[in-house]
Amino acid sequence: MTIATAGPARLGWLDALRGLAALVVVFDHSAYTFLADFRRELMPQFNTSRYGIMVFFLVSGYIVPASLERRGCVRTFWIGRVFRVYPLWAAVVTVYLAVVLLGLAEGRDLGGQSAAAVAVAHVTLLQELLGTPGLLLVLWTLSYEMCFYLLVVALFTVRRHRGSASAAVVLAVLAAVSVAVGVVPPASALSGRAGTGPLIACASVAVVVAIGCASSGSPVLRAFGGVLGAVPALVLVPFNGTIPLWEGLVILAVMFLGSAVHRAEHGQTTWRRAAGAALVVVACAVASAYRYGDGDHFTRRGWLTAFLLAVLTFGAGLAARRRRIPRVLTGLGTISYSVYLVHPVLLAVIDGTVGRRRQDQLALLVAFFAVLLPLCVLTHRYVEAPGQNWGRRLAHRLRDRDAPKTSFPLA
């Protein structure tokens, strides 16, 4: 799930894509409750969840590195991310835990892990990659977002941030090679070997130290922190995720592809180079999924259809970027993060009280959306927006005080 913002002047086409992707993901998850039979028939042909998520990742790749480079300061970038992500995240997780304690929803099995370890893993946003069950299923995408942030900061601190196309190609090729040579580690492989607790402790300390050093005023510490932050991202994504190694690498490649498109549009690279990267990423993703084959919860046709349509959707949005976008679509994009995080809590309460439908009920699905969207308008207005404003004020205060110490020219 992308949690990017489009800058001071919002980009309507990005908001429209976010809004569309959020609705598709919510449809996929709510179909478990209201349209189970229809979803069972649809998924082998079109994986709706993967479609929405890939659109989100492309949008995130397009705008997040640009946000960092516009600021020219790692510290204010991380402040922006923290105040963008955590206020709503904390509110939603708190409400979810409350409804579980009240018996209105069923809590997730933590697999015997300690509450402290689970809490630390979630606070880092890396729980999906640390062998810890997510309290909410949708939180898994935030782990990949966090890894992307760490990699973007790493490239920025060593002044290799304009190599987005190359990064996308390398990651995509590695994904295809891993499938070709049969490198298929089990889910959470590192946690199984090192233990979940030690892995959480090591990764958490590394991330905290990396962010602190990368945000410092010393060029040496900044570079050290950036490189250190890249290590857990490059290790955890391929070797400790719950999705296949190749798909984790494809996700990162897709985000860097979004960044390459942004650079081409703003003259930092050529359209030819960005198009070449896109062809390689798409070809490697298709080859990887095809060779991986069908599994218990994976059909290559469903994944490939979703992936290719996501790329085409992003391309269509890019082509329409100078057109006037209907306000309803930009409005949906504005509340897309709320839609993404709030809907699983609402579904959990419905499943825990009323129960899932034995027969498809389209009317109930429509009613669910009619409740969800106004609720998300409220969470955006009273949780998300204030959090972003606090972050902007703090970032401006720090930037005015010591920006020359923590930023550098983007040569």
Q: Are 196 and 118 in contact (CB under 8 A)?
A: no
Query: Is 190 or 410 the better-scoring residue by pLDDT?
Result: 190
Query: Tell me, what's the pLDDT at 7?
Result: 43
Distance CA 227, CA 17 (A): 32
What is residue 53's three-state secondary structure?
helix
Q: Are 145 and 125 in contact (CB under 8 A)?
A: yes
pLDDT at 1 over 80: no
Confidence grade of residue 409 (pLDDT, cut at 50, 70, 90): very low
- Residue-range domain boundaries for the chain: 6-107+299-411, 110-293
The pLDDT tens digits of the residues spanning 45-86 come to 999 999 999 999 999 999 999 999 988 889 999 999 999 999
pLDDT at residue 175 greater than cutoff 90: yes
Q: What is the pLDDT of residues 234-244, one digit of tens each?
A: 999 999 999 99
Specify the residue for token string 């998850």.
29
CA 360, CA 367: separation in Å to the nearest integer?
A: 14
Mean per-residue pLDDT over the chain, rounded: 91
Q: Residue 159 has which token pair?
A: 């002044």
Q: Round to whole Å and give the CA distance between 145 and 53.
A: 11
Which residue(s) pair with 294 in the sheet?
Answer: none
The residue behind tokens 């040579």 is 181
Say which range, 86-95, 166-175, 322-331, 364-373, has the weakest mean pLDDT: 322-331
What is the C-alpha to C-alpha distance for residues 351 and 353, in angstroms, rounded to an integer? 6
Q: What span, in angstroms and rounded, lies between the C-alpha atoms of 225 and 212?
A: 7
Give the model confidence (pLDDT) of 23-46 as tens digits: 999 999 999 899 999 998 999 999
How many helices (DSSP H) and strands (DSSP E) are in the chain? 17, 0
Residue 178's nearest CA partner among 276, 258, 250 is 250
For every residue of 263-292, DSSP letters joined together read HHHTTSS-HHHHHHHHHHHHHHHHHHHHHH
Exposure letters 86-120 (e unless 16+ CB within 10 A, then b): ebbbebbbebbeebbeeeebeeeeeeebeeebbeb
Q: Say how far apart CA 43 and CA 176 lie, in whole Å.
A: 24
Phi, psi of 260 (to 5 degrees): -65, -40
* pTM (predicted TM-score): 0.92
